[in-house]
Amino acid sequence: MRTIKIGSVIIEQSAALAPMASVADRAYRLICKEQGAAYMVSEMISAKGLCYSDRKTEELCTVDDRERPYALQLFGEEPQFCAEAAKKLMTFGPDIIDINMGCPVPKIAGNGSGSALMREPDRAFAIAEAVVNAVDVPVTAKIRAGWDEYSINAVQIAKGLENVGIAAVAVHGRTKKQMYHGCSDNGIIKQVKAAVNIPVIGNGDVNSPEAAKRMYDETGCDLVMIGRASYGDPWIFRRVREYLDTGVILPPPTLEERLDAMVRQAELAVSFKGERMAMAEARRQCAFYLHGIKGAAGYRGRCSTLTSLDDVKHLADEIRTNA
């Protein structure tokens, strides 16, 4: 397996797990790592929340050594808060710090963070420069194609970020206006790759081993990032790795593998967060694993009532019995 370097951090050139709020928590990341994910990025961490010592925010920062290489991802709209937060993140031992400049959801972009920075290049560059100067690990940024179809500026943003010391840039080939609809544009990622001398990570519509290879081939990117296609299917990282190495398409996971992973993820989440919080989040996570199985609609409905780890185990046993 070939590798790339972001600063001094070595990453295998297969597929990374994209940062996804309320999905890519520690438990899920570990499951994906076990299946071959090459690189992890945390859920978004609020710069202000961290500066004000919000307990929930600090939980997002915990790094498990089994996940490395690993980045903690900040979001914020003020350079001074982002720099101070980055310093605080260093106490958690990240390999890389990533800055979110691509999240399109209203509660983030509406406050001037995330993809709102695509409309304010100077602010984006000031934030990036402040964070780069605040820490001694590589700093990366995740951006979008632009704000909308009339302001495609990923190349401009990427070049400016490189100029202030950003070590790599991840590019989602959709605009903020598109959210997660329509098609991701590999052409934008290709343009960014041609314009900068730092590693470029391609993101958007990578939902199969073939799509991962196509993104590498069409864009020349240094690493591919997978997000929503991994929901309930962490084995996609194993399939991508095998396909890139040998050209072989591995079979999908068996029902038993899916149920085992569902239970294991719930167990990990409980060990990290406690049963109450873990189960509130597991209702969605468990449902992902059941997509497409016999009786899926009924079982997924049952997921909304999960209140304990035993509930998850009983559901898995029932599915096995009725399979």
Pairing outcome for strands 15-17 and 9-12: unpaired
| Same topology between domain 3-246 and domain 255-322 | no
In tens, the pLDDT along 244-270 reads: 999 999 999 999 999 999 999 999 999
Selection from 111, 104, 99 nearest residue 135 by Cα: 99
Burial class for 274, CB neighbours closer than 10 Å (0-12, 13-18, 19+): exposed
Work out the number of other CB atoms within 10 angstroms of the CB of residue 173: 23
* Position 66, amino acid: R
Q: In the numeric block, which tokens belong to residue 267?
A: 């167990």
103 is known as an active-site residue? yes
| Domain residue ranges of the chain, discontinuous segments joined by + | 3-246, 255-322
- The residue that leads in pLDDT, 57 or 205, is 205
The counts of H helices and E strands in the chain are 14, 10
Check pLDDT > 80 for residue 54. Answer: no
Torsion of CA 252, 257, 22, 73, to 10 degrees: -70
Chain segment 181-205, per-residue pLDDT in tens: 999 999 999 999 999 999 999 999 9
β-bridge mates for residue 140, sequence order = 98, 168
Pick the CATH number of 3-246 from 2.40.50.100, 3.20.20.70, 3.30.70.3270, 3.30.70.1560: 3.20.20.70
DSSP SS3 for 42: strand
The confidence score (pLDDT) of residue 59 equals: 72
Q: How many residues comprise the chain?
A: 323
Confidence of residue 108 (pLDDT cuts 50, 70, 90): very high
* 3-state secondary structure string across 202-260: EECCCCCHHHHHHHHHHHCCCEEEECHHHCCCCCHHHHHHHHHHHCCCCCCCCHHHHHH
Measured CA to CA, the distance from residue 120 to residue 188 in angstroms comes to 19
Please tell me the CATH code under which domain 255-322 is placed. Answer: 1.10.1200.80
Both structure tokens of 177 = 């206006």
- Strand pairing report for 3-6 and 9-12: antiparallel
Residue in the block written with tokens 């190349």: 155
pLDDT beyond 80 at 116? yes
Catalytic residue, chosen from 32, 61, 82, 103, is 103
Is the confidence at residue 55, as pLDDT, over 80?
A: no
